[in-house]
Amino acid sequence: MLTQQKPLVVFQDDFFLVIDKPAGMVVNRAETTQGTETVQDWVERKLKLPRLPKEQEESKTRDTYGNFDTRDAFYSRSGIVHRLDKETSGLLLIAKTPEVFENLQRQFKERKVKKKYLALVHGRVEPNKGVIEASISRSPFDRKKFGVFLGGRPAKTRYKILRYYENKILGKFSLLELSPETGRTHQIRVHLKFIGYPVVGDEKYAGRKTAKSDRQWCPRQFLHASFLSFTHPITGQKMSFSSKLPSDLQLAMMKIRA
C-alpha cells in the first residue's frame, strides 16, 4: 500500500514550476478521485487558481494528447501540461499562466520536449538498445487498458540498458532508460509488455500473478520520470531537470542485488 506524500518543488520562476510527483498521487481530478488529494488540487492551492464549475470542466473537447483545445484548458487543467500515471513518480511540468501553458503544450505536440524514464523490467532485454515502434489504442476487451492493435495511433519509444541483474530467487531483470517520442496513454508500459519484458509490479500489464509476486519485494510499478528538458517559454533558454530514483525503488533494487 502506497503512502501518499506531497509533491516536491524542483524549480519555479514567474512562469512555470517543475515538481517531483510522488508515487500514489493522481495528477488530474476526476469522478474516481473524489475524497483524495490530487496534484491538481495541490496546484490550485499553491498558485491560488480558481476552480471551474464541474460542468464547465467536462464540456471541453480534448486533442490527441488528452489536453483541452480551448484557452480555458489552463484553468481546466490548473496549468498541468502533461501527465504521469498514479503509480509513476517523477518530474511534472506546470504552467503559471495561460500563455505559458499554450507555449509548453505546443512544445510537447511538436516533440521538442525530451523525457526520460527509468524502468526495471522482467527478463534480460536484448539487444541492449533499440527502438519500439508499435501503434497503441484502447483495448476492445478491457476499456481500462491499452495495447498494440491494428488501427491504433503511432507510438515510438527508444530504450537502452543501464544494467542487467540476476537474482537466484527472484529471477532476471533489466534496468532501462526509456525516451518516449510520442505521448500515448500507458505507452512505456504497453510497449515493454509488447516486446515481452513487462515492468516490475505493473498490475495492468505484467499479469496478475506476476505483479502480485513482484509486490512482495517492490511496493509499486517500477517506473520513474527521471529527466525533463524543454525551452523556456519566455527567455528561450534550454531548461533541463533530473530526478533521482526514489527511496522505495532504491530499496527494491537492493533486494534484487542481494
173 neighbors 122 (Cβ within 8 angstroms): yes
Question: Does the pTM of the predicted model rise above 0.85?
Answer: yes
Torsion angles phi and psi, residue 213, rounded to 5: -65, -45
| 114-228+243-258 topology per CATH | Pseudouridine synthase (3.30.2350)
100 neighbors 16 (Cβ within 8 angstroms): yes
| Residues with catalytic function | 85
With b for 16 or more beta-carbon neighbours within 10 A and e for fewer, the 242-256 pattern comes to ebebbebbeebbeeb
**pLDDT for res 4:** 63
Residues of the chain predicted below pLDDT 70: 1-4, 52-71
CATH of 1-110, one of 3.30.1360.100, 3.30.2350.10, 3.30.530.20, 3.40.50.620: 3.30.2350.10
**pLDDT for res 57:** 52
Measured between alpha carbons, how far is 237 from 122 in angstroms, rounded to an integer?
Answer: 39
The domains of the chain are located at: 1-110, 114-228+243-258
Measured between alpha carbons, how far is 231 from 235 in angstroms, rounded to an integer?
Answer: 8
Helix H or strand E segment including 248? helix 247-257
Same fold, 1-110 and 114-228+243-258: yes
**pLDDT for res 98:** 94
Query: Rounded to a whole number, what is the largest CA-CA distance in the chain?
Result: 55
Measured between alpha carbons, how far is 170 from 218 in angstroms, rounded to an integer?
Answer: 11
**pLDDT for res 64:** 45
